[in-house]
Amino acid sequence: MPNYALQLFRTPLSFLYTFYLKLQPFLPWRIIRAAFSFFRSIIWTQPRPYPGPDPRPDPRPDPTNEIENFRTYFNNKYGRKHPTFYQGKLSQALRDVQREVRLLFIYIHDKKSTLCDRFCHEVLCGDAIQLTVGDNLFWSTSRDTQEGVEASRLLTANFYPCLGIIAHYGSQQTIQFKLDLYADCDQCLAKIIDAVENANPTLQYNRERRTISNSRDRLLEEQNAAYLDSVRIDQEKAEQRQREENERRKLEEEEQKKLQEFADFRERLRQALPSEPSSTENDIIQVSIRLPDNEPIKRRFQRTDSAKLLFEFAWTNVNVPNQFELLWGYPRKRYQYEQLGDEIIGDLMKGNTETCFLEQIDEDR
C-alpha cells in the first residue's frame, strides 16, 4: 500500500518540482523577501513598554565633565602650578589653535603610572614648561576617558606619560613632537624646547598665509562694499528719477485735469449765456473787453443784466485765462467775479458804450 501511494503522488510532485526549477530564475526573490519582511514587521512588531524617547540614561559620560574632573584631580594631587589646561574637547582645541595660529600641547595621563607621577612633579609643575608653552594651548586628560582614547589614537600613544605637540601647516595637521618614554627631566625639556623652536617656521608660514588671506578677504570686502555702494547710489538715483517722473506726470495730469475742467466750465457758460440783444432794443449797452494779447471781444448787454455776465461772456472766449479781473471807468476801478454780488451792469456802467481792460490774475495770489 505505501508503494502504491508513492507511485500515485510521484508523478504530480515531479511535475511541480520541474515547473519550479524552470520558473525559479524568473522569480523576483528580492521583492518577495522585502515584501515578506515588511508585512512581518507590521504583524510581529513588539510595542515599546513606554511612549516617547528612551528615558534610560546615556551610559556614555560627558567628555566636558571628564575633562573638568581630570583638571580637578590634577590640581588636588599635583597642585595648581602648571600650564593652564584648556577647558574643552580635543576637537575644539584643534580648531582653536588652527584659527589662532598656535601650537597645541597634548598631555595624556595614566593615573596608575608612577612614571606619570614623576613627569607631573618634575616637568608639568615646573617653571620651564610654563615658559615654553607661553601663549600656546595646553590640553590634558586621562587615558581612561573618551577624550583620552581619542587623543591616544591621534598621537598613536603606546607608553604613558605621553606628551605631543600639534601644529597646522596650512590646513594639514602635523605632529611636531611626541614623547613616548620619559627618563630625565632636563632631557625631556630640551626636546620640548627644540620642538617648539622647530615649529616656529610652520607658525610663521601660517601667519603669512593668514595675513595674505586676511588681506585678500579685506580687499574682497572693500570691493564688495564699493560695489554695493555703487549699486545703492544707482538705485537711489533711479528711485529719485522715478519720483521726479511720477511728480512730473502727476503735475501734468493735474494740469490736464484743470484744463479739462475749465474747458467744461467754459462750455457750460457758453450754453447758459443768454442771447445777445439786438441793436434796436432799448436800454442796452455796448461793451468792449480788451484782451492783453488779442483783439477785443464785443457784445451788447441789457442794463438789467447781472454784472457777473460780463465775466461769464469773457470766459467763453478761448483766449481768456482762468482767473482775471476787469478794469473800467474813470478813475479805473478793478472788479473780480467773486467780489460781485447782486449788482447789475447799469449800476456800474453809465454810458451807452464801455471799454473794459482784462488783466490776468496770478493763481498764487
Domain ranges of the chain: 63-212, 244-273, 284-360
Cis ω on the peptide bond leading into residue 161 (within 30° of 0)?
A: yes
**3-state class (DSSP) for residue 326:** strand
CATH topology of domain 284-360: Ubiquitin-like (UB roll) (3.10.20)
pLDDT at residue number 21: 64
Render pLDDT for 201-219 as a digit per residue (tens, 0 to 9). 888 888 888 888 889 999 9
Least confident among 25-29, 173-177, 236-240, 258-262: 25-29
pLDDT at residue number 97: 93
C-alpha cell at 172: 594639514
Q: What is the mean pLDDT of residues 226-231?
A: 94
**pLDDT reading at 50 higher than 50:** no
pLDDT at residue number 364: 59
pLDDT at residue number 210: 84
Q: What is the mean pLDDT of residues 39-50?
A: 58
The CATH number of the structural domain formed by 63-212 is 3.40.30.10
Least confident among 58-62, 193-197, 228-232: 58-62
Share of the chain above pLDDT 90, in %: 58
* Cβ neighbours of residue 318 closer than 8 Å, sequence gap 6 or more: 266
User: What band does 92 get if pLDDT is binned at 50, 70 and 90?
Assistant: very high
pLDDT at residue number 13: 67
pLDDT at residue number 240: 94
Q: What is the mean pLDDT of residues 128-143?
A: 95
**pLDDT reading at 57 higher than 70:** no
pLDDT at residue number 241: 94
- Cα-flanking dihedrals φ and ψ of residue 265, to 5°? -65, -45
User: What band does 6 get if pLDDT is binned at 50, 70 and 90?
Assistant: low
Instruction: Please state whether beta strands 137-142 and 297-302 pair in parallel, antiparallel, or not at all (unpaired).
Output: unpaired
pLDDT at residue number 148: 94
C-alpha cell at 299: 457784445
Q: What is the mean pLDDT of residues 301-305?
A: 92
**pLDDT reading at 42 higher than 90:** no
pLDDT at residue number 61: 77
Angstrom distance (rounded) from CA 302 to CA 287: 10
Average pLDDT score over the chain: 86
